[in-house]
């Protein structure tokens, strides 16, 4: 005996429920995600200043002398060549002085003594070195000794 099956139509796929489900999932993910990730606390301790056991007596101010021939002296010690404009040795020393002054809780004070016959460019070079070392308390002295 031969069985006859009823004629079947081609099955159809309804797209409307799939689109609805896609939009619902999109709304769900938009509402639940966070766009900015919070920073995690890593618990890292950075190196800092070490407290000194004994206080170090520092002079109230440093004296920079600009001589007639272009020589630059810091507390009677000569720094850099007379032709050097960037003054790397003086800049390094001034940075160390500022750091030591901040560690001691004192302001970094600089007095620039300028010879009457000194070139103005040398004074500007010294002031640039002070600015690069982030020393802001600068005073001027002039005249003959």
- Three-class DSSP category at 13: coil
114, 67 Cβ separation under 8 angstroms? no
Tokens 């002398």 locate to 65
Per-residue pLDDT reduced to its tens digit, 55-102: 556 566 788 998 888 889 888 888 878 777 888 888 899 998 888 888
Report the b/e string of 62-88 with b at 16+ CB within 10 A: bebbbbeebbbebeeeebbeeeeeebe
User: Could you tell me the pTM of the whole model?
Assistant: 0.57
Instruction: Give the model's confidence band at 106: pLDDT under 50 very low, under 70 low, under 90 confident, else very high.
Output: confident
Helices (H), the chain: 16-32, 88-104, 120-132
Which domains can be identified in the chain, with CATH numbers?
A: 62-142 (3.30.420.270)
pLDDT in tens, 11-22: 788 889 899 999
Model pLDDT for residues 120-133, shown as the tens digit of each residue: 888 888 899 999 99
């Amino acid at each position: 005996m031969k069985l006859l099956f009823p004629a079947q139509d081609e099955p159809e796929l309804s797209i409307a429920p799939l689109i609805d489900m896609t939009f619902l999932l999109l709304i769900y993910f938009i509402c639940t995600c966070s766009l900015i990730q919070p920073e995690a606390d890593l618990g890292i301790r950075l190196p800092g200043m070490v407290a000194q056991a004994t206080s170090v007596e520092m002079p109230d101010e440093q004296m920079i002398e600009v001589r007639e021939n272009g020589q630059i002296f810091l507390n009677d010690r000569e720094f850099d060549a007379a032709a050097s404009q960037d003054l790397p040795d003086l800049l390094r020393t001034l940075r160390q002085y500022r750091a030591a002054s901040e560690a001691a809780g004192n302001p970094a004070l600089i007095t620039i003594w300028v010879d009457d016959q000194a070139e103005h460019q040398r004074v500007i070079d010294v002031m640039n070195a002070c600015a690069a070392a982030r020393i802001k308390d600068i005073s001027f002295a002039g005249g003959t000794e």
